[in-house]
Amino acid sequence: MGVEVLKHQLVKHIKGGEAFYPIDKMLDEITFEKVGIRPSGLPYSFYELFYHIVYAQVDIIDFCTAENYSQSDWPKDYWPKTQSPSNINDWIKLKEDYFNDRETFSNYIINEEIDLSEVVKHGETQTLLREILLIIEHTAYHTGQMLIVLRFLDLYEN
């Protein structure tokens, strides 16, 4: 298998739907009125989980590519301060940011000059491949939680 094929497979996994229900579809299932609801017995809302995915994704991307990177304070910075967005415009912007960052990083990955085995810009031993897999694993983990929230809100049956 060539490196180009591997890169395209990795991008497919970043975009989701290969082994788990894609975020794109989940975002279509949830209404703004329900994004901030914490279903009974669950410690998080759909919004809180999605915010966390978005924040972690951009943090990892910046770790790999930004000229200047400063480490965020875990776990405080990685979770929103509220269980729902302030308004619908903030919710829309969060979704746009997620998809824009994901697309930018996908284009970065498939660039033929980019070596998956190189240590990333702000890494010590962390390679680009490791960071890509981290985004995939992290997103898949929390996507499962988001699906549970959708089920508890009676927005997904399967």
Query: Percentage of the chain surpassing pLDDT 70?
Result: 99
CA–CA distance, 30 with 9 (Å, rounded to integer): 28
Exposure string (b/e) for 54-81, b if CB count within 10 Å is 16 or more? bbbbbbbbbbbbeeebeeeeeeeeebbe
* SS3 sequence of 120-134: CCCCCCCEHHHHHHH
Q: What domains are defined for the chain?
A: 3-152 (1.20.120.450)
Q: What is the pTM of this model?
A: 0.96
pLDDT at residue 23 is higher than 90:
yes
Chain Cα centroid distance, residue 2: 26
* SS3 sequence of the chain: CCHHHHHHHHHHHHHCCCCCCCHHHHHHHCCHHHCCCCCCCCCCCHHHHHHHHHHHHHHHHHHHHCCCCCCCCCCHHHCCCCCCCCCHHHHHHHHHHHHHHHHHHHHHHHCCCCCCCCECCCCCCCEHHHHHHHHHHHHHHHHHHHHHHHHHCCCCCC
pLDDT single digits (tens) 45-92:
999 999 999 999 999 999 999 999 999 999 999 999 999 999 999 999
- For residues 128-155, average pLDDT: 96
pLDDT at residue 95 is higher than 90:
yes
Residue 127's DSSP bridge partners are 119
- For residues 117-134, average pLDDT: 98
Q: Token digits for 148? A: 């549970």
pLDDT at residue 135 is higher than 90:
yes
pLDDT averaged over every residue in the chain = 96
Q: Token digits for 87? A: 């308004």
Q: What are phi and psi of 92, to 5 degrees?
A: -60, -45
- For residues 128-149, average pLDDT: 96
